[in-house]
Structure 1
Amino acid sequence: MIRSAVLLAAGHGSRLRASAPYKPLCPVAGRPLIDHALCGMAEAGLTRAIVVLGYGAEAIADHLARRRWPLAVETVMTRDHHEPNGVSVLAAAPLLAGEPAVLAMCDHLVAPALYTRLACTGAGDGATLGIDRRVGHPWVDPDDVTWVRTEDDLIVDIGKGLAGADCYDTGVFAIGPALFAALGSFGAPSLTDGMRLLAGEARARVVDCSDLDWIDVDDPAALAKAEAWQLARAA
């Protein structure tokens, strides 16, 4: 089982600026998004998290330093938070030193079991993505989500507004050296760029997580849905 995680927390989060100056610190049911992610990772059995920072790095690092976490937390800076998210993924590579990791987005609130499933599935000879086949789910914005087209357990294509897609990208991956190599072949890659390259080599796989809840907390409407989910879960 994979024990390390990479958590991307470098973006601007401009659509949630009214709720928090920095998206990772946006409260959902009384806890910042980054707290939900780190505690969920620990609950899933992960023992180490590398948090990639960029926009608002000082405030987020201070938040991390002021708390005791149930897993080891390290931080690293992305090269430039204006660049695509693949650049942030690459920033974590030296700290992993070739070890596999569960990769997640700080603004994706997920059931801890989703992290566990990717940690247990592993990256194989490329990378594995947790997908959701519940197309039309009310928590998912079809214009904002990353779509995936699959054949059996292989990714055929991935991207926004993808024709012929049959599932959603949940934002949780199992990754290893192959993805870092793929991303490194671009100048300023997105994560989708790296996954597309691996897909072309039949090294990008999926694991079905349609039975597990998750939501991309990217705007006020999604934040309201996430609040309702977490409050119902707590009750």
Structure 2
Amino acid sequence: MIDTAILLAAGEGSRLRSAAPFKPLCRVGGHTLLAHALYGLAQAGLTRAVIVLGYGASEIEAHLAARQWPLVVETVRTDHRLPNGSSVLAAAPRVPGEALLAMCDHLVDPSLYRRMAQVGAGGGTRLGIDRRIGSDWVDLDDVTRVQSDGERIVAIGKGLEPYDCFDTGVFATGPALFAALRQLEAPSLTEGMRILAATGQAYLTDCSDLDWIDVDDQWALDKAERWRSISARA
């Protein structure tokens, strides 16, 4: 089982600026998005997280230093103006083998983390996908869409047509993705996955039975608050 996570938290988060000056410190259900991610990863059985910071790095590092966490936490920095693949590459030297790759601004059922950590990268990169394409928890204009063929990803991207599932933002990954990203002048995660898809190294695991939400704007934040409220009462 994978025991290390790469957690991307470098973005500017301008669409959530009214809720928090730095997106990882935006609160949902009384806890920051960063805390939700770290506690969720620990609950899933991971023991180490490499957090990639950019915008507001000093403030977020101060937040991390102010408390104890249920897993080992390390930080690396990148330029928040670069594509997200640059964040992945910033963490790569700290991860010699496979890692779980997750987004700090996604609220995720810890069981989704666990499933992806258990299944592993399979020699390429494996993405947790959601086939609930009619879900009203997803912003169709913003979500990354995926076209699949069995266990393989054949196409991926925002605005993709046709598509049959969504990218949950949780991957089991490793050297194959790092190598693909290093081929790109402006390395984005989607472009890296396209390289792997072209070589048959981009796989998927169905996580349609597990909940997640990309907290990218006020609309999503309101939905996330309702989800956490329902979960707390359950």
Coarse TM-score class (shorter-chain normalised): over 0.9
Equivalences for 1:83-102 in 2 at 5 Å? 83-96=82-95, 98-102=96-100
Question: Who is 1:45 aligned against?
Answer: 45
Q: How much has 1:187 moved relative to structure 2?
A: 1.6
Question: What is the DSSP-based 3-state SS (H/G/I as helix, E as strand, rest coil) of the residue aligned with 1:144?
Answer: coil
Does residue 105 of the first structure (1) align with residue 100 of the second (2)? no
- The corresponding residue for 2:61 is 61
Aligned partner of residue 12 in structure 1, secondary structure = coil
For residues 59 and 185 of structure 2, the distance between their equivalents in structure 1, rounded to whole angstroms, comes to 29
Shift of 1:234: 1.0
State the partner residue of 1:21.
21
- The whole-number CA distance in structure 1 between the counterparts of 2:46 and 2:158 is 30
One-letter amino acid matched to 2:85: G
CA–CA separation in structure 1 for the residues paired with 2:168 and 2:153: 14
1:114-193 equivalences in 2 (<5 Å): 114-193=112-191
Distance (Å, rounded) in 2 between the aligned partners of 1:199 and 1:179 = 11
Percent identity over the alignment is 64
Task: State the partner residue of 1:82.
Answer: 81
Do residues 231 (structure 1) and 232 (structure 2) align?
A: no
Report the 3-state secondary structure (helix = DSSP H, G, I; strand = E; otherwise coil) of the residue aligned with 1:207: strand
Q: Which residue of structure 2 aligns with residue 8 of structure 1? A: 8
Structure 2 counterpart of 1:40, which letter?
G
Equivalents in 2 of 1:166, 1:193: separation in Å?
Answer: 19
RMSD between superposed Cα atoms in Å: 0.5
Count matched residues. 233
What is the SS of the residue equivalent to 1:226?
Answer: helix
Residue 99 of structure 1: how far off its partner (Å): 1.4
Which stretches of structure 1, 4 residues or longer, exceed 4 Å deviation after superposition?
Answer: none
How far off its partner does 1:129 sit? 0.1
Alpha-carbon offset, residue 183 of structure 1: 0.3
TM-score, structure 2 length as denominator?
Answer: 0.99
CA apart distance, 1:231? 1.2
How far off its partner does 1:136 sit?
A: 1.4
Q: Deviations over 1:22-79 (max 9, x none)?
A: 000000010000000000000000000000000000000000011100000000001x
TM value normalised by structure 1:
0.98
- Tell me how far apart the structure 2 counterparts of residues 114 and 108 of structure 1 sit (CA, whole Å): 12
Aligned to 1:201: 199
For 2:89 and 2:134, the matched residues in 1 are separated by: 32
Hey, what's the Cα distance between the residues in 2 that align with 1:146 and 1:64? 29
Any gaps of 5 or more consecutive residues in structure 2? Answer: none
1:216 aligned partner? 214
Return the alpha-carbon distance in structure 2 between the equivalents of residues 166 and 157 of structure 1.
Answer: 10
State the secondary structure of the residue aligned to 2:46.
coil
Structure 1 spans left out of the alignment, 5+ residues = none
What is the letter of the counterpart of residue 87 of structure 2?
S
What are the superposed Cα offsets for residues 153-209 of structure 1, whole Å, 9 maximum, x if unpaired? 100000000011000000000001000000011122110011000000010000000
